[in-house]
Chains A and B, each alone.
Chain A
């Protein structure tokens, strides 16, 4: 069992960027070391170096003071390292047990002993106090439970170093507490734990030491008990952002009702009714899987509506596809940026101009000049960090990717009337989050109606003017910002449990 993991002067170059330079720190067994930094600070690159996914150009990794050199992820795993990424590395069609034992199924002469497999898996599941059926296909589990399968997989491999890349990004509060319990158990067993998160609250709850990265360099190492949130934010962004929420410049004037939803039903949601005015920011809170995304998809014409009506700008509408909704002036920034939002291997420009190609047409052809102007305007407006609009979106950080989507829906050619933001701050850093909150308020000031869906309670009750709470596909409550408390909203989100 390894007792320590050390990064010594690690550096990595990517085309056009220095992703890491001279990073040195040491993580010890039985402690949680948190890696903190804005988007593009180098946290993910560091993890990839650890997992053997990429090779550092300079420096070395030491386990128990012995230099390691991983030329593949397999070698890193063999050295006792497990990295649990945001995008889970599970095989959805295989069972929980098969996933936990992937690569090392029990049995002899090539034939799997399923009984032994099931028993061994059950043992691990019980050890962590979870109630998961080992025979269930992983694809049917919720995101949170899939993550727990990943943790059990790391545990099964007997990894002594376990790294988490933003594990709570798509979990709801109740699930997070189970996750933390698991991490604390691993910690008690003497594992070296590396934990990446954007959520400062979590880090104080979980971490022993904190390493802050910025622009690929190590800013400072903190001992958790001797530091404050302000110190960390200061180190991360290089400035104080003060009380983000109090400093928001909000809209106070509402216009006419723009959206009225009444008795909406789809396969996943039931009896959804609410209304929204121009200039209003309406929050949707709830646990993951409460049906908020499905409400948005139904309004946007992406899912089939079984009953109920949607009235937009005073007219009852029946959108058959997202295209109809877009033509009416509705925009949706989907929850899953990479799967639903972006065409990752196309340029920033192509991703920004997607919905307005018809308006960029001159005779038969696309007017590339106008297209470039439009893309450059969005890059400037949202200060997207890129040398040119031709850069592939895949190469941008999460925050910048989100800005590309926002840019798509707020260009001069597509001024959205209703903007639906589904988890817009998921996986982006504190500094950019504050920017996004202000953008939301600015949209409202410009007369846009905004729906703001978020699983982060603090965020949704502080940014939105009014908050609708959902559970199991139904609305369980509604509250104004002035009256909203985290406890009250959480109680509605978990009503009946």
Chain B
């Protein structure tokens, strides 16, 4: 890394967020030294995986100027779906694949609403989220669907032991997907098309980018990953709850936007989104660690979001003034 690059990093958005995270970790550790214990960290990693997996599909959609507010309920539906077909005695790898296809189909339906019927993604997926929320209750009769298949459980519950520390499998899935999709966004034609569409769909279309094709693929992708997320979460609990995961997509979106993904599309990336999500999750985890009453936790979660936005705002301002000074020197 050259000196210039280093100084750029210190002024970047990610740096401001990382600084907040470090301060936060120190503060929570002072409050409860178990905050950085191996056990808590591994629990944290498991927890962040749900919003993290959802974020992968979501960030791609957000960058393209779309959104899937039903992602959480799609994951919930997929959880009930996988628990039900496992109950019929299907081998778990087959069930997992069928579940992911089921998620893809839910995504395809979103794409149909947006691209064929021309609804706004925001409204269409709010509608679908409500449909799935209700369907999940109807199908499950409002009670958890438990799983007897012994092979499925490790998919979500196993950890790789490294001395005292256990690295949970779901966290590995999350990191792997973040890396794969990060590479796709940055280095492939398809990834570039996502940014172009989000930046200006008219111009992208007139330059030969198939905007409907790209957004259809992204909705399907988001649905499929949500289904995977639902399956993993179901495996971890060894049962599927009719209200599991619903609403988690909001954490994914908040983390992504905090990490620099524009809600209007066209900018941001998975790296920033991960840092944003990390901040939100680590904070939630810390509130539990210092035993803040649950109701206050909700208030505090909103608070950290605002604080992060304020810090980011001032970071942005100092960055702009630094650029100006640089330019003045050059001139």
Q: Which residues on A are within 8 Å of B, measured CB to CB?
A: 13-18, 300, 302, 321-323, 326-327, 332, 334, 339-346, 350, 354-355, 357-358, 360-361, 364-366, 368, 408
Contact = CB atoms under 8 A, between A and B. Distances in A.
Contacts of B326: 15
B206 A346 contact: no
Contact of B205 (A16, A321, A358, A366): A321
Interface string B72-99: 0000000000000000000000000000
Given A358-B189, A366-B188, A323 B202 contact: no
Nearest to A297: B206
Interface in B180-226: 183, 187-189, 192-193, 195-196, 199-200, 202-210
Q: Which 7 A-B pairs have the closest CB atoms?
A: A343-B199, A15-B327, A354-B207, A326-B208, A357-B189, A365-B187, A343-B200
A354 B267 CA distance: 16
B323 interface: yes
A14 B327 contact: yes
B1 interface: no
Contacts of B330: 16
Interface string B311-327: 00000000000011011
A341 B203 contact: yes
A149 B273 CA distance: 44
Given A341-B206, A354-B204, 11 more contacts: A15-B323, A16-B331, A17-B331, A340-B202, A343-B195, A343-B204, A345-B199, A350-B196, A354-B207, A355-B207, A355-B208
A393 to B, nearest CB: 10
A357 B331 CA distance: 36
B202 A339 contact: yes
Contact of B210 (A18, A323, A334, A365): A323
Interface of B: 183, 187-189, 192-193, 195-196, 199-200, 202-210, 266-267, 323-324, 326-328, 330-331
Given A14-B327, A354-B207, A345 B267 contact: yes
A349 to B, nearest CB: 10
Contact of B203 (A13, A343, A368): A343
Contacts of A360: 189
Contacts of A368: 187
Nearest to A342: B203
Nearest to A358: B189
Contacts of B203: 334, 339-343, 354
Contacts of A17: 327, 331
Nearest to A341: B203
A408 B203 CA distance: 12
B206 A322 contact: yes
B207 A361 contact: no
Given A342-B200, A357-B192, A358-B189, A408 B328 contact: no
Nearest to A339: B202
Nearest to B202: A340
A350 B210 contact: no
Q: For B203, B206, B209, B331, which residue has the most chain A Cβ atoms within 10 angstroms?
A: B206
Q: For B189, B202, B203, B266, which residue has the most chain A Cβ atoms within 10 angstroms?
A: B203
Nearest to B267: A345
A364 B199 CA distance: 23
Contacts of A361: 188-189
Nearest to B322: A15
Contacts of B193: 357
Given A350-B192, A361-B189, A345 B331 contact: no
B207 to A, nearest CB: 4
B288 to A, nearest CB: 40
B206 A344 contact: no
Nearest to A408: B207
B195 A340 contact: no
A344 B199 CA distance: 7
A342 B326 CA distance: 28
